[in-house]
């Protein structure tokens, strides 16, 4: 949502009355709230002098849910965020809003007989996705399991020793990008949804931080930003995506996005690329020649908590 006058004048007539009233409503609201909350919205008084920054933050605050934006509005919000990163932290970032690719549905398979528990995937994920170093947030977790078990909840998710250990095997878990995702159903504001390519994303700017989705996820696939995430400036991954690894703020939900910033460029997710044993298979389920299709067809595959009917796009398999 854009409240600057100039843009309102440019509105196309076919956009109709509804939008105008919505816009003017929000404008009225914003004027009413302006005096009191401007400082709050823009995060403290600090640099009240910088009117451009104030204006950008203001427009960011009143924008729509990403899914309802026109392409132009998406481009504008991305441009604003890039500009704000420059102004606030003197950081040059590239932010993409690449749309899902045609005829692509992502799927992931994990080879439990090959993984040795090295954690390179976890490391790569933390770097790639600008995860909070302070709280040691991780999207991926590896569970060390005794043979005879196939349920990670009975394994050890906090091992600190040299791997591999004889008689143990390893199981990686993360968001499974469920087709019938309880987290999406739960969200009161539609701040989280499943993209046409199967990636379940969060609009960080739209999330109100109620954590209902976290309670609803049967796989513990979501992470909440209890405080403001911290990443050392030199470690920040500057290639970002609006729905992916851009910097999060406090009070919002985040999760694995199959590295949307990479996969929509045709690359592998960071975890799959980093894995030294080739245990992680990622690809397009709609492509009959893809490796993932080969695995699903020829290996012994299973899914975790199948009985819940969430239909995850994530499988485990054995050689």
Q: How many CA atoms lie within 13 A of 270 on its CB side?
A: 23
- Interacting residues with ligand SF4 between 180 and 199 (CB under 6 A): 181-183, 186-187, 189, 191-192
Among residues 54, 12, 15, the alpha carbon closest in space to that of 37 is found at: 54
- Interacting residues with ligand SF4 between 232 and 261 (CB under 6 A): 253, 255
Shortest Å distance, C-beta 306 to ligand SF4: 13
Q: Per CB under 6 A, which region of 16-24, 52-60, 214-222, 266-274 contacts ligand SF4?
A: 214-222
Shortest Å distance, C-beta 118 to ligand SF4: 24
Distance from C-alpha of 255 to C-alpha of 138, rounded to nearest angstrom = 9
As beta bridge partners, residue 107 has: 283
Task: Return the structure tokens found at 136.
Answer: 């040691």
Angle at 157 between CA 153 and CA 162, to 5 degrees: 140
Q: Does 36 bind other proteins (CB under 8 A)?
A: no
Partner that binds at residue 176, options ligand SF4, other proteins, none, CB closer than 5 to 8 Å by kind: ligand SF4
Sign, CA torsion 146/152/156/157: positive
- Tokens 């990403």 locate to 66
Task: Return the structure tokens found at 279.
Answer: 């245990």
Shortest Å distance, C-beta 252 to ligand SF4: 6
| Residue closer to ligand SF4, measured from CB, 144 or 205 | 205
Contact 122, 142 (CB under 8 A): yes
Contact 108, 253 (CB under 8 A): no
Distance from C-alpha of 250 to C-alpha of 227, rounded to nearest angstrom = 5
Distance from C-alpha of 275 to C-alpha of 111, rounded to nearest angstrom = 11
| Residue closer to other proteins, measured from CB, 177 or 222 | 222
| Residue closer to other proteins, measured from CB, 95 or 207 | 207
In the stretch 217-246, what mask flags binding to other proteins with x, by CB under 8 A? Answer: xxxx-xxxxxxx------------------
Q: Does 38 bind other proteins (CB under 8 A)?
A: no
Q: Does 55 bind other proteins (CB under 8 A)?
A: no
| Residue closer to ligand SF4, measured from CB, 129 or 192 | 192
Site residues (CB under 8 A) for other proteins? Answer: 22, 25-26, 29, 37, 40-41, 44, 61, 64-65, 68, 141, 143, 152-155, 157, 173, 182, 185-191, 206-212, 214-220, 222-228, 250-253, 308, 310
């Amino acid at each position: 949502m854009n409240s600057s006058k100039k843009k309102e004048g440019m509105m196309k007539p076919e956009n109709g009355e509804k939008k105008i009233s919505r816009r003017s409503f929000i404008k009225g609201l914003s004027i009413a709230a302006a005096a009191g909350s401007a400082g709050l919205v823009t995060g403290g008084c600090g640099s009240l002098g910088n009117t451009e920054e104030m204006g950008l933050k203001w427009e960011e605050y009143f924008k729509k849910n990403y899914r309802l934006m026109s392409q132009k509005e998406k481009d504008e919000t991305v441009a604003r965020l890039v500009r704000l990163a420059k102004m606030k932290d003197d950081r040059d970032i590239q932010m993409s809003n690449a749309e899902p690719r045609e005829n692509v549905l992502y799927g992931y398979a994990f080879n439990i007989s090959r993984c040795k528990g090295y954690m390179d995937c976890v490391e790569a994920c933390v770097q790639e996705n600008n995860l909070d170093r302070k709280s040691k947030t991780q999207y991926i977790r590896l569970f060390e399991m005794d043979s005879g078990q196939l349920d990670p909840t009975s394994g050890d998710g906090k091992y600190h020793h040299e791997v591999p250990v004889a008689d143990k095997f390893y199981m990686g878990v993360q968001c499974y990008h469920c087709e019938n995702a309880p987290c999406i159903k739960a969200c009161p504001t539609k701040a989280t949804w499943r993209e046409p390519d199967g990636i379940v994303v969060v609009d960080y700017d739209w999330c109100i931080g109620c954590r209902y989705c976290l309670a609803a996820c049967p796989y513990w696939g979501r992470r909440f930003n209890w405080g403001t995430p911290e990443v050392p400036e030199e470690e920040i991954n500057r290639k970002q995506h609006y729905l992916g690894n851009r910097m999060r703020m406090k009070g919002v939900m985040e999760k694995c996005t199959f590295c949307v910033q990479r996969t929509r460029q045709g690359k592998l997710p960071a975890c799959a690329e980093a894995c030294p044993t080739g245990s992680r298979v990622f690809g397009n389920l709609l492509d009959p020649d893809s490796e993932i299709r080969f695995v699903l067809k020829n290996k012994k595959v299973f899914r975790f908590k199948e009985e819940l009917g969430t239909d995850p796009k994530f499988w485990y398999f054995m050689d």
